[in-house]
Amino acid sequence: MTLGHDPNFLVVPVPLPRAARPLRELPSTHFTVQLDPARRLAAATVVDVDGARLLDLPRDDDWHLDPRVPASEQAGPELYADNDLDRGHLVRRRDPVWGDEDVARQANAETFAYPNAAPQAAQFNQSKELWNGLEDHVLDHAEALRQRLVVLTGPVLAPEDPVYRGVGIPRLFWKVAAWADGPADAPTLAAAAFVLDQTPQLGEIDLRAADARARAAGDVPPLGPFRTFQVPVADVEALTGLDLGPLAAADVLAPSAPAPTGPSALDRERWTELHDPGDVVVR
């Protein structure tokens, strides 16, 4: 079995994201983590989901450092000790757990490597369930054709992220789901993008002051309740600096919309806040 994301997993190709900065590529069973060693967090993860072959296995919960990279390049247990931060899975535990049982068990265990974790607020509102269920909603839509998804997920590693225990704490997370759409004899690529925002609802000055107080006290930076948005794929590229290849042109929202030139050019008027899965546009 070849480890890592298969660019040809769908009947239309989906390559790994490309970045102008160095990333460490960590292939695992049915997924790949692209680790940013400077930030000690993943810049992106890509998982292949075969909805027709998913297995229901118990959680492993054995979080561990990835032995393929130095401990100094991954945010490990010291980041999450004695505070209210959750180790948020980037590749959801259940998404790569498919196929033969031995293979599925290996995938299950590998999702608990620290490069597949990112710090998230431990206490948040019902939007957690919405964010975690987006793949299920898109998978239901894709059921008629192969029941396969490729899901890309990561934190937005912004230079202004507040630092806690030597790690910048992201306040935005992104996700892009891709699937083959249309007739089986002439499928096309479709994609939908989402952003999770856990920024406190404070003005810029108040937020900077709250961050400074937390840092002085050695506390976790303030995080707010999760809000989930459907956004143009091009906006994810602008936020992250990643090249997502064919996904922007396959966007179900606005494939012809011009890509912004950077985060400062983002127009949040194009973002739709989601309150339940029925708000998601999939075609």
Q: Which tokens hold the place of 219?
A: 């506390």
Interval 67-88: pLDDT, tens: 999 999 999 999 999 998 999 9
Residue 255: band (very low, low, confident or very high) from pLDDT cuts 50, 70, 90: low
Q: Which tokens hold the place of 62?
A: 């054995």
The Cα–Cα gap between 214 and 196 comes to 22
Contact (Cβ atoms closer than 8 angstroms) between residue 198 and residue 121: yes
Helices (H), 27-76: none
More confidently predicted of 130 and 195: 195
Question: What pLDDT shows up at residue 126?
Answer: 53
**Residues 138, 242, 21, CA angle at the centre, nearest 5°?**
145
Question: What pLDDT shows up at residue 240?
Answer: 96
Decide if pLDDT at 25 tops 90. Answer: yes
In the numeric block, the tokens 């479709």 are attached to 190
For the ranges 54-63, 163-172, 198-207, 265-274, the one whose mean pLDDT is highest: 163-172
Decide if pLDDT at 213 tops 60. Answer: yes
Decide if pLDDT at 262 tops 70. Answer: no
Contact (Cβ atoms closer than 8 angstroms) between residue 207 and residue 192: no
| Percentage helix, strand, coil for the chain under 3-state DSSP, each rounded to 5 | 25, 30, 45
Please report, as a single letter, which amino acid is at residue 168: G
Decide if pLDDT at 47 tops 60. Answer: yes
Contact (Cβ atoms closer than 8 angstroms) between residue 139 and residue 277: no
Cα-only R_g, the chain: 18
Q: Which tokens hold the place of 262?
A: 């950077």
Decide if pLDDT at 260 tops 60. Answer: no
pLDDT, mean of residues 115-134: 80
Looking at the DSSP bridge assignments, the partners of residue 243 are 18
pTM: 0.93
More confidently predicted of 253 and 46: 46
Contact (Cβ atoms closer than 8 angstroms) between residue 33 and residue 111: no
Residue 248: band (very low, low, confident or very high) from pLDDT cuts 50, 70, 90: very high
Question: What pLDDT shows up at residue 124?
Answer: 60
Looking at the DSSP bridge assignments, the partners of residue 174 are 154, 195
Decide if pLDDT at 259 tops 80. Answer: no
SS3 of residue 212 by DSSP: helix
Please report, as a single letter, which amino acid is at residue 209: A
Residue 167: band (very low, low, confident or very high) from pLDDT cuts 50, 70, 90: very high
Distance spanning both ends of the chain, measured CA to CA: 34
- Least confident range from 21-30, 53-62, 186-195, 265-274: namely 265-274
SS3 of residue 32 by DSSP: strand
Contacts of 183 (CB under 8 A, 6+ apart): none
